[in-house]
Amino acid sequence: MNWIQFKIRFNDPTRFWIDIFLIDTAIRHAIEKRKPDLWRFHRRAAKDSIGHQLSLLCYISKQELVHVQYELINHKAIQILEREDIIKSRSVEIMKPGIEKTSDIHWSEPLQRSWPYFAHGSCQMIMGLLENDFNFQKKKFSEVEEYYTNLSDGLEDMFTSIGSHAFIHHLSALFGYAPLKLRI
């Protein structure tokens, strides 16, 4: 088994609703259809040569890679974004074997091996927060953009208003309320 990272880069570094749209549609579809045991998504938007990118990482066999990739690239949401010239590029990276390969190399080995389970659970939670009955295929592109912009803003508002308690406090409790040096 390897971590396989499906990367989608976008032309606009500020349209974060696109991530939420793809997580709720194409990524959800690929996960539900192929059912990898361990998966997560990763969002980034640095001011560098990579820029705005959404990735789906799956801990799967190389044979399963073809099936997950097929589900993603043939999904209507991806096709719509390509038609609108929002997607800059798509690529796939097969990482070296080992469950720890998506973790920070500066972390301890136990943390590196455990991190994927935390990331998986966090991503499952985000997908649960996105569950809805919005049928994007029967909407104009402007309606899709408006809906997912509002959904993205709502997630951001939830995180900024209750994130310190819901996430930071409860993680702190798991680690025995040790003082934090927060670095974001």
pLDDT tens for each residue of 107-163: 999 999 999 999 999 999 999 999 888 999 999 999 999 999 999 999 999 999 998
Per the document, the length of the chain is 184
- What is the distance, to the nearest Å, from the Cα of residue 29 to the centroid of all Cα atoms in its chain? 13
For the chain, domains (ranges, CATH) are 2-132 (3.30.70.100)
Burial-class residue 91 by CB neighbours within 10 Å (0-12, 13-18, 19+): exposed
d(CA 69, CA 73) in angstroms, rounded, equals 6
> Looking at residues 7-29, what average pLDDT do you find?
96
Query: What's the pLDDT band for 180 if we cut at 50, 70, 90?
Result: confident
C-alpha gyration radius of the chain: 17
d(CA 12, CA 180) in angstroms, rounded, equals 34
- Partnered with residue 58 across adjacent β-strands are 4, 39
Question: H-helix or E-strand containing 48?
Answer: none
Query: What's the pLDDT band for 164 if we cut at 50, 70, 90?
Result: confident
